[in-house]
Structure 1
Amino acid sequence: MSRAERETQILEVAERVFADDGYQATSMDDIASQVGLSKPMLYEYFGSKEGLLLACLQRSKAELLEATSRAAAEATSPEQKLNDCQLAFFRFSDDHAQAWALLRNEFSIPSASVNTELEAIRVQQRYFTADLLRSVCEDLDHEQAEAYAEAIIGASERLALWRDHHPEVTAEKATEHMIALFAPGLGF
């Protein structure tokens, strides 16, 4: 197995273990045994348990941006762009439930670098969403676009948390709720 393939394998296992057991309760021994590597090899790859968690978060950050960017690129109208990007977020939270569990349990990780990386995911999506809003609503100024983007991101995260308790609410239905909430203010 190549180094890149091994890193992917380690990140997938670590994401699952962190989400299932919590960051504090997880040991590098737990992850090493499930991956089939020695603990020193995990340290060789990621330096520390925190380094491994940061790598998991960075991978999720890149995958989320890729999913929402792809949705925006494939849309053929402003309305579809808003809808499809929102849907991409909810599908990401469904398809990457383990990564999403890490994001929603951030309060349990007492690490400035981890919390900085979690906030970097939100900032990345704020810039993406603000640019998206300006592309579909040309009369929005920079401040409005960023303020609306923050509101959309916050509401999306809360709705995704709510869906944990309402598994019958599909990604499509959650998207309908978000669009119904924000579309009128955007002139749709």
Structure 2
Amino acid sequence: MSDPTPTTRPRRLSRAARQEQLLTVAEQLFLTGGYEYTSIEDICRAAGITRPVVYDHYGSKEGIYLACVRRARVRYERDLTLAFEGTADPRRQLERSAEVYFGMVEDDPQRWLLFYSGVAVPPTGELGQRLQDLRLQTHLFVVAQLRQHAPTQPDIRLEAAAAALSGIFEQLGLWWLRRPELSRAEVMRLACDLGWNGPLRILLG
């Protein structure tokens, strides 16, 4: 008599692979149901795991949401870095920044609202503060890019210019969602004209 066929067991994921899986599952749930209406139980059910697994990796729903935002912002900064390759011209870099940013708004507005716009979760309490810290990291990335073009400017002016540019892009993104008849090219042109003739003109002289 031959031996029975061994039972095939699901392959255990490495810690890094499990974390990535949980982020992908949670991100989709946050996108479809919103942050407030997505629970740890929803994430567990969709990922096929138990609550302790989520707690072990991310501690809480707030923790996994913050990790989703962090991953999205790392990708955004990576895309900006790649877009800047091949040019040191500040105007061209501004235009390429607009291409990346408003490409996100056009391609997936719900995802942009959830992870980039600052309107998906109220900016209060510990979660709000930690989200502000993540936004600050992106802000410092912009400051570093501006410093390359204006190395003699004091930090306070570089930080102010970065804040102004970020505000222009974010507010135009929200405005564009209320004016869907406008093309991406039109919104990008507005963003670049406002950024170049406003904070960048003051900074670069």
Q: TM-score, normalised by structure 2?
A: 0.76
**Which residue number in structure 2 is paired with residue 43 of structure 1?**
55
Equivalent AA in structure 2 for residue 19 of structure 1: L
Equivalent AA in structure 1 for residue 171 of structure 2: R
Deviation at 1:95, TM superposition (A): 5.0
Answer yes or no: is the 8 Å Cα contact 2:40–2:61 preserved in 1: yes
In structure 2, the residue corresponding to 1:104 is in which secondary structure? coil
Deviation at 1:170, TM superposition (A): 4.7
Instruction: Return the match for 2:189 from 172, 176, 179.
Output: 176
**Which residue number in structure 1 is paired with residue 31 of structure 2?**
19
> Within 2, Cα distance between the matches of 1:131 and 1:180?
21
* 1:76-111 deviation per Cα after TM superposition (whole angstroms, max 9, x unaligned): 52221121123222234455642532432121x754
> Within 2, Cα distance between the matches of 1:16 and 1:105?
15
Deviation at 1:181, TM superposition (A): 0.8
**Which residue number in structure 1 is paired with residue 99 of structure 2?**
87
Alpha carbon RMSD of aligned pairs, Å? 2.6
Higher mean C-alpha displacement, 130-139 vs 145-154: 130-139
> Within 1, Cα distance between the matches of 2:185 and 2:151?
26
**Which residue number in structure 2 is paired with residue 153 of structure 1?**
166
- The runs of 5 or more residues in structure 2 that have no matched partner are 1-12
Kindly tell me the number of residue pairs found equivalent between the two proteins. Answer: 186
Q: TM-score, normalised by structure 1?
A: 0.82
Report % sequence identity: 28
Equivalent AA in structure 1 for residue 66 of structure 2: L
- The runs of 5 or more residues in structure 1 that have no matched partner are none
**Which residue number in structure 1 is paired with residue 14 of structure 2?**
2
> Within 2, Cα distance between the matches of 1:68 and 1:167?
25
Q: 1:37 to 1:12 in 2, by over 3 A?
A: same
